[in-house]
Each structure stands twice: as structure tokens, then as C-alpha cells.
Structure 1
Amino acid sequence: MSLPLSFAECTARERVAALLDPGSFHEWLPPAERVMSPHLAVLGVPPAFDDGIVIGRGRLDGQPVFLAAQEGGFLGGGVGEVHGAKLAGLLQRAAAERPQAVLLLAESGGVRLHEANAGLIAVAEVMRALLDCRAAGVPVIVLIGGSNGCFGGMGLVAHCADHLLISELGRHAMSGPEVIEASHGVDEFDARDRALVWRTTGGKHRWLSGDCDALLDDDVAAFRTAAIERLGRSRPVTLAALEAEHALLAERLHLAPEADWPGDGSEPVAFWTALGVPEAARVPDLDAAALRPLRARTLEGAPQ
């Protein structure tokens, strides 16, 4: 029996090759085209020929899909002008051609500081294109399992998708630990405390709080199976769905008000306890299989 292929340890191209049907991937704007950022060289930063993102079309379980995979090894998967334009263009083409799904293998710290406003505009264009894609009935499935996590603007993009799949090793939030520490001090968030980082942004926390659709093992095959199950399953963006999500978030604030937090790094445990997770202190020691039955209440109709 072959050993699982770690999603976290793969490069973007290795993930694409292992996730899709063998030999089915056709890349758009590959490295040979040398479509690179025009901003990095003037700052003394070596560019990448694909600007840190792989885009194209392929087949998943025989079904046509579009796919984008961010390369966390290049500037932390940061979004710049070209990187964002490639992703937005993929989503726009998907809205027109309507494949069975768009798969976004997200691994990013957010906008590149090197490109500032160009990166911010790019993220806004990606969000608009993603919502247009969903409005056209094409489901967008985000897969998070890279070592850099999914933060900043890409954290927002991920939560705009139809489905979000995350592994135990994946992390997802709006702001990364280092950003929070830099903005509010180490007393607010110690980014060097890796256990705290995973308790507050890791896949286990996202699963227990109902912020993702599946908690997976660190295995490309597990991501492939979960993605196949969601092909063609779009979730229309409606006012009722947004109001239900806002109501759930408001309820959480009352469940675990900040004034009741212990302030000693165990806030996630207090939050899980408030959500009704049994023996919440044991959560960090549980694997994905043991944790899945402890799912907290989520939005009406969300898959369990």
C-alpha cells in the first residue's frame, strides 16, 4: 500500500499533477511565456516566470474543471498585479465556459507588500470575478493545506467560495499571526507560539467553528475525493444566506464575549467549550478522524 502524499509538502505543480486526472492538465500562461511582475525587478527581487501561480484546465474524475494553484515558495504565495490578473482571468473564463467547478489551491499570506495598491486592486478583481462565477452557476472550491496557510486578501477570497476544504495542517484567517502581533503587540498575539497559532487559525478550529465544509487529512488523495464530491454543487449567493451567516456570527459573540476570555492563550479552548464541544481541552491532541464528529452547529443546509 502506498503512503499518503502530503499536500503540505507538495509544490503547486505537484499538487496539480496529483489532484487532477493523469495527463489532463493544460496550463495557461506557463513559465515559458514569461508573464512576470513588472514591479519586482526594480526592487531587486528576483521574479518568477509564472509569478507564483499555476492556472489552466483539466479533468477531475472525468469532469472538466478549471484550476489555479498558488506557489507558497515564491514570496509566500503573495498576490501581485500579474498573479491576481491570472486568477481573475481564470474565474472570468469559467463564468463564460461553465466547467463543473473551479478549484483554487490557496496558499498565500495575502497581498505582496512589494506591489501595494496593485496587489490590493488585484484581490478586489479576484473577489468580483469569483462572485460572478458563482452567479453563473459554477461552484468555486477552495483547498487549503499548504504550510503558509491562507491569509489577508486571499483569506477573504476563500470565504467567498461555495466550498472550503482544509486539512489539519492548513490555516485560514483574515490576518496572519505576524500581522496581528505587529499591529497590536506580542501581548495580543504571540506569533512565535505555534501551538496558539494553530489553535486560533488552524483547520481544527475552522472545522469546530463551522467555517469550512470538510476537515481533511494531510493527503492529496483526501483533497481529491472531497473535491469530486462537490463537483457541480453550487450555492447561490442570496440575501437569506447572508443574513443567516450574520446571525450566526452575532450569536457567537454572545456565546464567548471577549470579557470572559482567560487571557493566557487558552481562548480557543474557552470558545470551543462555549460552542458545546465536549472535552474541548483535548482538541489539540485529536486527529481529524476523531474531531469530525465534534462539529459545531453551522449554517442551515451546510454539509457536515
Structure 2
Amino acid sequence: MISYAECSARERLALLLDPGSFHEWLPPSERVMSPHLAQLGVPSAFDDGVAVGRAMLGGRRVFVAAQEGAFMGGGVGEVHGAKLVGLLQRALRDRPAAVLLLAESGGVRLHEANAGLIAVSEVMRAVLDVRAAGIPVLVLIGGANGCFGGMGIVARCADHIVMSDVGRLAMSGPEVIEASHGVEEFDSRDRALVWRTTGGKHRWLIGDCDALVEDDVSAFREAAVAAIDESRPLTLAALEDEHALLTARLHALPADNVDSAGHDEAALLWSALGIADAQQVPELSVEAVRALRTI
């Protein structure tokens, strides 16, 4: 077993894809870098924190992008976002079997502010264009930094999400919530709380991800191969179904999100979804949690 979380972006690509099949577009040797970071005195990276290219997965041609969490937390800036958009737009022209996004990001790179926000919005639009063309977009989440902010929204725009139990997915990251509303609202240092409310087990149980796997590159590969043909048409009916699911989830919780026993929101929601002994979920194996899903 090789830990997906402990791998770099390029290590994940080498281990996840068919051996030797990855061909990178705009590799570090091209030095396509952010035009903003140097002006701010911030170190840059020759690939701006993301590797994009084509490859084979299970004998099928795919386009793939892998964010490097070790560079600025995988933050999206102008060039980083443009590489993702370019990959997706090329998919519309060349029609691979699928597009894979190996997401590891805290969201928009604050150093680039509006440029990063615009970049993320363009990535979202490009993902939806690719899906509308019938090409599945698969997002794999299992890096140490999680998938937050704008990239969290991008992930939920995709056809299929694969998460490990150590992966995390949310709109606002724990530190952002704490900084905005105080530690009483969310203690970002409480690791158990963070994983209960943003981790892979939670996202699986409430229907926000499509496959829950171990923290193992091989498990991610198997799940990605299995999902290549799982395109989900973008229809009004599908959107209405999603809204109905979110509405039911919201109404399942008490107004203050805490019951008389002091159970927190995550465990309350699991119980409301019909999961017995919800308090035990964090201690269960991935296999056991997979069997508990009711939606």
C-alpha cells in the first residue's frame, strides 16, 4: 500500500496512470509561471503548482491535472487556473474518455486575489462544458491539504468524486471559518471535529462523494478506472434532485444543530439519515462505513 496523501502531485500521476503514459503539457522546463508572485516577493514555481497533460488509464486515453499541495497549498492563481481551463478546453476538441482532476487545494491563491477568483470561475464553466459534451470529469481527493474554497465548488461540479477517508472536502476551510466567526464556531485545531465535518467518511455518508476508498494509490486507480464511463447528463431533473437532497438534509437537523446529549452536527445528521450508532462512525473502517450509506 502506498499512501496517496503522502505522495507529491507527480508521484500520484506516475503511480495512478498506466506506467510511462503521462505526457505533460507546459512542464517546468517551459517556465510558465505566475506574473504576480515575483512582484510581491513570493517564491514561484516553474509549473505554478499544477501538472497537466494526457495519459492512459486502464488502456483508455484520459486528460489529467494534478495540483501540488506543497506549493502554496495548491492555491489557484491566474496561470494555475489557465492551465486547468486549457486542459478542459482541449478535452472538448480531442474528446478523451475522461478528464481527471487530482485536487489538492485550499482554494483561491489570495496573493492573486481577483485573478484567482476569475480563474476558478473559468474552471467551473469549463468543467460544465466538458460534462455537457458527454465527457466524464472525475475528481480525486485525498491530499493532505484537502479540497476547499473554489476548488471545493469545482469538485461538486464534476460527474464523479472519489475520496479517501483522510481526504477533506468543503467550501470554507476550518481556518477560514475560525478566522471569520471565532473558535467557538469552529476550532480548526480540533482534528476530530475537522474530519467529522469535512472528511471522506462524512462526505460519503451524506452523498457528496461517489466512492470512498482507503488512503492507497491503487485504490484510487481502481475507483477511477471504474468511473470512466459514468457520465451524468446535465439536466434540469438532475439539478432538481440535487436541490431536493440538500433541502431534506437541511431539514433533518434541529435548529441549533445540537441535541440534548450534546452530539454535534455531523453525528446528528448521520443519525437523521438512519445510521445506527452514529457516534461510532469515526472509529469504523472504510469498508464498514461504505456499508452504512443510506442515500
Q: Is the 8 A contact 1:55 1:86 kept in 2?
A: yes
How do residues 207-246 of structure 1 correspond to structure 2 at under 5 angstroms? 207-246=204-243
TM-score scaled by structure 1?
0.95
Report how far residue 191 of structure 1 moved. Answer: 0.5
Question: Could you say what the CA RMSD is over the residues aligned between the two structures, in angstroms?
Answer: 1.1
Q: 1:260: Cα distance to partner?
A: 4.5
SS in 1 for 2:281: helix
Q: Say whether the 8 Å CA contact 1:196–1:265 is kept in structure 2.
A: no
Aligned AA (1:203) = G
Structure 1 residues 260 and 142: alpha-carbon distance in aligned structure 2, compared to 1, 3 A threshold: closer
**Any stretches of 5+ residues in structure 2 without a counterpart?**
none
Match of 1:87 among 84, 92, 110: 84
SS in 1 for 2:19: coil
Contiguous gaps of at least 5 residues in structure 1 = 298-304
The amino acid across from 1:226 in the alignment is A
Cα distance between partner residues in 2 of 1:36 and 1:265: 47
Which of 51, 74, 78 is residue 77 of structure 1 equivalent to? Answer: 74
Can you list the C-alpha shifts for 1:12-62, whole angstroms capped at 9, x where unaligned?
Answer: 000000001001110000000000000001111110000000000000011
Q: CA deviation at 1:275?
A: 1.0
Which residue number in structure 2 is paired with residue 11 of structure 1?
Answer: 8
TM-fit CA distance, 1:257: 3.0
Q: What is the CA–CA distance in structure 1 between the aligned matches of 2:269 and 2:133, rounded to whole Å? A: 37
Query: Which of 153, 156, 170 is matched with 1:156 structurally?
Result: 153
Instruction: Give me the whole-angstrom Cα distance separating, in 2, the residues matched to 1:36 and 1:212.
Output: 33
- 1:68-124 CA-partner distances (Å, limit 9, x unpaired): 000000000000000000001000101111100000000000000000000000000
**TM-score normalised over the length of structure 2:** 0.98
Going from structure 1 to structure 2, the CA distance change for 1:192 and 1:265 (only over 3 Å counts) comes to farther
SS of residue paired to 2:270: helix
Poorly superposed stretches of 4+, deviation over 6 Å: none
Report how far residue 296 of structure 1 moved.
2.6
2:43 is aligned to 46
In structure 2, C-alpha distance between the alignment counterparts of 1:105 and 1:14, rounded to whole Å: 11
Count of aligned residue pairs for this structure pair: 294
Query: Which residue does 1:291 correspond to in 2?
Result: 289
CA, structure 1 residues 27+265, in 2 after alignment: closer, same or farther (shift >3 Å)? Answer: farther
CA distance in 2, matches of 1:259, 1:137: 42
Among the aligned pairs, what percent are the same residue?
71
Equivalent of residue 97 in structure 2, options 100, 112, 130: 100
Report the residue type matching 1:70 in the other structure: Q
The aligned residue for residue 31 of structure 2 is: 34
Q: Contact (CA 8 Å) 2:257, 2:265: kept in 1 or not?
A: no
- Kept in 1, the 8 Å contact 2:253–2:265? The answer is no
SS in 2 for 1:259: coil
Match of 1:146 among 143, 146, 160: 143
Q: State the alpha-carbon separation in 2 of the partners of residues 232 and 64 from structure 1.
A: 12
Which stretch of structure 1 is more off in the superposition, 35-44 or 257-266? 257-266
Q: Name the CA distance, whole Å, in 2 between partners of 1:267 and 1:141.
A: 29
- Distance in 1 (CA, whole Å) between partners of 2:227 and 2:256 is 40
Looking at structure 1, the residues matched to 256 and 79 of structure 2 have their Cα atoms a distance apart, in angstroms, of: 44
